[in-house]
Chain A
């Protein structure tokens, strides 16, 4: 099992792979990927009971990425976990490739087609209800953006989740305070968000969404309470890891030019080297 230092190293490498992929594809949702990659890392390398060899197992944990636009991060993590060869990443967004600009079930490891926001939670509720009915041990995890929360379907699904006491459901919110057109609180204010979720019946926890140890700690202790759906508010920075992309809305679907790419890679290479040194020092 990977420890926090090893997970941090993975995150650093994932960030580099994401940038490389987006640069090659000429398209992608750069800052949203960098925002949620630590969450995906912890899910796939520590929390989810799922692997390429068990993907057909009816008892596997389910993960549905509701913020489908961050598909590049998901592709990178799934490739690293061996769901398909890394070389497939070179085909993302290319004509004829299954690796299209949003998640589809044609890609090994992906549970649901997403892209239109606001549907991951209701689909997860359905899967969680089915799991309860069949008395199966799996959990259903879903990852939502915060701008995405303006879709009423999230709140409808939350009523259902609480009504049925779905303690096999874990909702993670990538709380980066940004959407495409600006800060969430300027576009359509969400705060006090924790209180809202609590009122809707979730047992809520908050953590630093880039601190892999904190993410492990939170996500390994689900359900947060018996008989209640769990919700983790992961506080994140959109564009995390590349200084000039952080908190800048223009990187939502920005693709770096040559110069920006080189500058970003210098920062990401340095982060990888630093974490490699940490892991080596620990051995």
Chain B
């Protein structure tokens, strides 16, 4: 099964709306894109379309949270992290209010609109804001679980969502818990740590590496903050080399987080697969991902190099 990740988000919000009448949803004229329109149709009295006014919307969400509601704020990831960055920092994170920031169309997934709408820096921004929890789900099952976990979590969370279709890879017993990475496949030569839809690419790379005689471990690191430092240290110790894969600038996202972690615990070679510090472009998603170095081939190449660097 395949489904746009945003639709999984939209459908799960509707379920949550039935279970908890304190949940309100705020959107900024993009509910047809983010798929909060389903919640709007079901619970019109708990849905607020702010129009094209993202900063206004995020500050208002702080007001909702301070008054006892659980606001899910939804728009494109670049707008939540950059345009509304100041209210996110000053009014949501600083007072640690219970606001859920759902950033859609993240990474390069808004392939036609191009660089202005693609989000290559949101994880760096959100990670650097104190009190913020950062969650990036991968498949259909994990997305559903993440939306639910984010709703239950007390405090500000950034939930990063892709415009792209995701597959259903995990079963109902998938052990999702905010802050705990998940080992999807064991291996002893190198660990590939992926996040969001790039986890699927990591798995395909591990298959390809197996044919070359390299046993790659694969980790789904769905929470970038707080990072599962114990798991990172364990993988560093047991496999001796790490490759990270993310649809984000190589600066400030998953790769940086993993580097920071292993440097403090168990230094091993870490090679980062991500967008090489440049803006996106228009084209088919597979084309623009590949140009940014996000391809199975490139992950494999980095894995070979990481293994070779183990001395």
List residues of A whose CB falls within 8 A of some B CB. 25-27, 68, 93-97, 99-102, 104, 113-118, 147-152, 179-181, 184, 187-188
Asked whether B117 lies within 8 Å of A115 as measured between CB atoms, the reply is: yes
Residue of B29, B33, B79, B283 with highest tally of chain A CB at under 10 A: B29
Tell me, in angstroms, the Cα distance from A152 to B52 when the chains sit together. Answer: 9
Identify the closest chain A residue to B114 (Cβ): A100
The listed residue (B37, B83, B281) touching A100 by CB distance below 8 A is B281
Asked whether A151 lies within 8 Å of B112 as measured between CB atoms, the reply is: no
Tell me, in angstroms, the Cα distance from A150 to B244 when the chains sit together. Answer: 40
Tell me, in angstroms, the Cα distance from A116 to B50 when the chains sit together. Answer: 16
Per-position 1/0 for B19-56, Cβ under 8 A of A: 00000000101111100010000000000011111011
- Known contacts A97-B282, A147-B52, A148-B52; is-contact A116 B79 (Cβ 8 Å): yes
Identify the closest chain B residue to A28 (Cβ): B112
Tell me, in angstroms, the Cα distance from A64 to B278 when the chains sit together. Answer: 24
The listed residue (B30, B51, B83) touching A116 by CB distance below 8 A is B83
**Which B residues touch A93, using CB under 8 A?**
112, 114, 282-283
Asked whether A179 lies within 8 Å of B114 as measured between CB atoms, the reply is: no
Given known contacts A93-B283, A101-B116, what 5 new A-B pairs fall within 8 Å (CB)? A27-B112, A95-B287, A96-B283, A179-B52, A181-B29
Asked whether A115 lies within 8 Å of B30 as measured between CB atoms, the reply is: no
Tell me, in angstroms, the Cα distance from A114 to B117 when the chains sit together. Answer: 10
Asked whether B112 lies within 8 Å of A179 as measured between CB atoms, the reply is: no
Residue of B30, B114, B283, B284 with highest tally of chain A CB at under 10 A: B114
Tell me, in angstroms, the Cα distance from A94 to B207 when the chains sit together. Answer: 31
**Which A residues touch B113, using CB under 8 A?**
101-102, 115
Flag whether B115 is at the interface (Cβ < 8 A): yes
Asked whether B281 lies within 8 Å of A180 as measured between CB atoms, the reply is: no
**Which B residues touch A152, using CB under 8 A?**
53, 55-56
Flag whether B16 is at the interface (Cβ < 8 A): no
Size of the B side of the interface (Cβ < 8 Å), in residues, is: 30
Tell me, in angstroms, the Cα distance from A57 to B286 when the chains sit together. Answer: 40
Flag whether B78 is at the interface (Cβ < 8 A): yes
Tell me, in angstroms, the Cα distance from A187 to B31 when the chains sit together. Answer: 12
Interface of A is mostly: loop
Identify the closest chain B residue to A252 (Cβ): B32
The listed residue (B31, B53, B56) touching A181 by CB distance below 8 A is B31
Per-position 1/0 for B81-92, Cβ under 8 A of A: 001000000000
**Which A residues touch B281, using CB under 8 A?**
95-96, 100
Tell me, in angstroms, the Cα distance from A102 to B78 when the chains sit together. Answer: 15
**Which A residues touch B283, using CB under 8 A?**
93-97
Flag whether B208 is at the interface (Cβ < 8 A): no
Residue of A94, A151, A152 with highest tally of chain B CB at under 10 A: A151
Flag whether B288 is at the interface (Cβ < 8 A): yes
Tell me, in angstroms, the Cα distance from A110 to B113 when the chains sit together. Answer: 17
Tell me, in angstroms, the Cα distance from A148 to B31 when the chains sit together. Answer: 16
**Which A residues touch B287, using CB under 8 A?**
95
Q: Within the complex, what minimum Cβ distance (angstroms) separates B58 from chain A?
A: 12
Residue of A101, A116, A150, A180 with highest tally of chain B CB at under 10 A: A101
Asked whether B56 lies within 8 Å of A179 as measured between CB atoms, the reply is: no
Tell me, in angstroms, the Cα distance from A63 to B242 when the chains sit together. Answer: 49
16 contacts between A and B (CB under 8 A): A93-B112, A93-B114, A94-B283, A95-B287, A101-B112, A101-B113, A101-B282, A102-B113, A115-B117, A116-B116, A116-B117, A147-B51, A149-B52, A151-B53, A181-B29, A187-B49
Q: Within the complex, what minimum Cβ distance (angstroms) separates A60 from chain B?
A: 24
Tell me, in angstroms, the Cα distance from A149 to B52 when the chains sit together. Answer: 8
**Which B residues touch A115, using CB under 8 A?**
113-117
**Which A residues touch B282, using CB under 8 A?**
93-95, 97, 99-101
**Which B residues touch A97, using CB under 8 A?**
282-283
**Which A residues touch B53, using CB under 8 A?**
150-152, 188
Asked whether B29 lies within 8 Å of A187 as measured between CB atoms, the reply is: yes
- Known contacts A116-B79, A180-B30; is-contact A150 B112 (Cβ 8 Å): no
The listed residue (B51, B52, B116, B284) touching A102 by CB distance below 8 A is B116
Asked whether A180 lies within 8 Å of B32 as measured between CB atoms, the reply is: yes
**Which B residues touch A101, using CB under 8 A?**
112-114, 116-117, 282
Chain B stretch 93-118: residues in CB contact (< 8 A) with chain A? 112-117
Tell me, in angstroms, the Cα distance from A180 to B27 when the chains sit together. Answer: 12
- Known contacts A118-B52, A151-B52, A179-B52; is-contact A100 B115 (Cβ 8 Å): yes
**Which B residues touch A117, using CB under 8 A?**
52
Identify the closest chain A residue to B28 (Cβ): A150
**Which A residues touch B83, using CB under 8 A?**
116
